[in-house]
Every structure is written in C-alpha cells, then in structure tokens.
Amino acid sequence: MKRNIRKCFGTLALSLGVLLAASIPALAKNSRTVTLHHDVVLSGATLSAGQYTIQWETHNPAATVRFVQGHKVVLSTEGKVEQRDKSYNRDAIVLNSVSSGSMSITEIRFAGSKQVLVFNQ
C-alpha cells in the first residue's frame, strides 16, 4: 500500500515538473524589454525615460500590463491585446501628445510579432 502511494506521489511530482517546465516559454512570450527615450504618461502616471521590462497577462482581449525596473513594478495598468495583419520588424512605442503638452503611450508594437498592446487614454 505504501509503495503504491509513493509511486503515485512520484508520478504526480514528475508530472507537475513537466507541466511547469512547459509553461515557462509561454510566460516568456508575455514579457519584453523596451527603452523609453522621453518621459511619457500612461493611465495618469508619468514613466520616466529609461529601460523597462513590460509584462502582461491577457484576459482575452483585455490585459494587465506592468512596467518593471529592476525588480520593482513602477506602473500597473489595463490595456488590450490586438492582433494585426502583419508582424513588425522592430519594437515601437506609439505616442500621442496630450493637452498638457506631454506624450502618452497609445500602443506598443513588438518585433517579430503581430500582437500589439493598446492603451485607451
């Protein structure tokens, strides 16, 4: 009896390990590093110029998007993931000027991907 229980736990542990290892590449797809060359506004908060890791979790098509510097989340906001007809050759941050004279992020495009993160202002 104990031997069967140990065998079941061993099989379960191995299965969980394989499942976790298979999910790591999926998590990596939803994370990219970008550089902001100017201070920008997003969701009422100012992001200073610098390098950020952008991480997002999709909720079809909504997404929770985090801007991370180092290990600190600088901004967490809601956006939307859209599929475009073509993939982009390079990363691009699309900006729009707002009434205060500052620039706001309207979308982020990623090299080699048809997915775009879109932000409503």
Q: Which residue has the tokens 């090299």?
A: 111
Measured distance CA(30)–CA(77) in Å, rounded? 15
Residue 16, pLDDT score: 44
Q: What is the tens place of the pLDDT at every residue in 43-68?
A: 999 999 999 999 999 988 899 999 99
Residue 7, pLDDT score: 62
Q: Quick one: average pLDDT of 116-121?
A: 88
* pLDDT band at 120; cut points 50, 70, 90: confident
Q: What is the tens place of the pLDDT at every residue in 60-106?
A: 889 999 999 999 999 999 999 999 999 999 999 999 998 888 999 99
